[in-house]
């Protein structure tokens, strides 16, 4: 083997190792603590107090988010951050392919939107704002109670998924603000 080729190969290998050693992988919020429910959380995430909301579906999102942020421990006693949520929902016909005899659609799409503002309680400064949206499709049967129950189930599914999206968004916002460490 040519000596210059061997030196070039070793130099390339050494350079590759140097570049690879600079790469790191770390969790979203740096040092996660795993709570009794198995949900990874950080001190910053578990110090978020969520303001009350005024609708049933808003309460569902809020309850799921409190559980996700604190592992089922409830609201923090002394919260560093305050989260204001504005949650809206809308429902529309998802498809007009299958129609009943009275020309009503048999499928609907529920869309739930959350607009949030995270404020630092110590400084009063707005740490982050954002908007997240989730859609949940459901079938609309002929029976009135079954149709109402299908809409309620879609609402509950959307609330759980929206809470998951909000938890991830808040984690990213806190990491960007440098509050994760």
- How far apart CA 66 and CA 62 sit, in angstroms, is 6
Stretch 39-59: mean pLDDT, rounded? 82
Give this prediction's pTM.
Answer: 0.70
81: domain CATH number is 3.30.160.150
- Whole-number Å distance between alpha carbons of 146 and 91: 16
In a domain, 57, yes or no: yes
Quote the domain boundaries for residue 121: 27-177
Q: Is residue 14 part of a domain?
A: no
Measured in Å, how far apart are the chain's first and last C-alpha atoms? 51
Q: For residue 176, what pLDDT band results from cuts at 50, 70 and 90?
A: confident
Judge residue 86's burial from the number of C-beta atoms within 10 Å of its C-beta, 0-12 exposed, 13-18 middle, 19 or more buried: middle
Q: How many domains are there within the chain? A: 1
pLDDT digits (tens, 9 = 90+) for 116-174: 999 988 888 999 999 999 999 888 888 889 889 999 999 999 999 999 999 999 999 88
Asked, for residue 17, whether it belongs to a domain, the answer is no
Give the residue carrying structure tokens 């350079």. 15
In a domain, 144, yes or no: yes
Strand partners, 87: 114
């Amino acid at each position: 083997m040519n000596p210059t080729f061997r030196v070039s190969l070793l130099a390339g290998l050494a350079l590759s190792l140097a570049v690879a050693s600079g790469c790191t992988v770390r969790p979203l919020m740096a040092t996660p603590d795993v709570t009794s429910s198995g949900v990874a959380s950080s001190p910053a995430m578990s110090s978020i107090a969520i303001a009350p909301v005024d609708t049933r579906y808003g309460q569902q999102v809020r309850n799921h988010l409190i559980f996700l942020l604190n592992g089922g421990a409830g609201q923090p006693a002394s919260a560093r951050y305050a989260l204001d949520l504005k949650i809206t929902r809308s429902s529309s016909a998802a498809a007009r392919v299958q129609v009943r005899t009275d020309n009503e659609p048999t499928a609907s799409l529920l869309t739930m939107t959350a607009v949030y503002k995270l404020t630092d309680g110590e400084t009063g400064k707005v740490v982050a704002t954002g908007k997240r949206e989730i859609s949940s499709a459901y079938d609309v049967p002929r029976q009135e109670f079954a149709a109402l129950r299908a809409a309620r189930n879609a609402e509950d599914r959307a609330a759980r998924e929206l809470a998951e999206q909000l938890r991830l968004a808040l984690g990213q916002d806190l990491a960007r603000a440098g509050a994760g460490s």
